Amino acid sequence: RDHVKMAPKANSKMSREEELLLEGFNKNVSTKSSALFYGNAFIVSAIPVWLYWRVHSVDMSAYAIMFVIGTLISTWLLAFAYKNTKHVLKHKLAVKREPAVTKEIYKKLADDKKVSKKEKDERILWKKNEVAEYEATTFSIFYNNSMFLAIVIFASFYILSGASPTLNYALSIGGASGLIALFSTGTKN
Task: List, as one string, the DSSP characters of 41-101.
Answer: HHHHHHHHHHIIIIIS---TTTTHHHHHHHHHHHHHHHHHHHHHHHHHHHHHHHHHHHHHH
Convert the pLDDT of each residue in 83-128 to its tens digit: 999 988 888 888 887 788 778 877 777 776 677 777 777 877 887 8
Q: What are phi and psi of 131, to 5 degrees?
A: -65, -45
The mean pLDDT value for 12-26 works out to 56
- Is residue 189 within 8 A of residue 61, CB to CB? The reply is no
Q: What does the radius of gyration of the chain's CA atoms come to, in whole angstroms?
A: 23
Distance linking the first and last C-alpha atoms of the chain: 33
Cα–Cα distance for residue pair 159/172, rounded to 1 Å: 9
Residue 165 above 80 pLDDT? yes
**Percent helix, strand and coil across the chain, each to the nearest 5:** 75, 0, 25
Please state, in angstroms and rounded to a whole number, the distance separating the CA atoms of residues 169 and 127: 44
Q: What is the pLDDT of residue 140?
A: 93
- 24-28, 29-33, 62-66 — which one is most confidently predicted on average? 62-66
The model's confidence at residue 189, banded by pLDDT at 50, 70 and 90, is: low
34-85 per-position pLDDT tens digit: 899 999 999 999 999 999 999 888 888 999 999 999 999 999 999 999 999 9
Cα 68 vs. chain centroid, distance in angstroms? Answer: 23
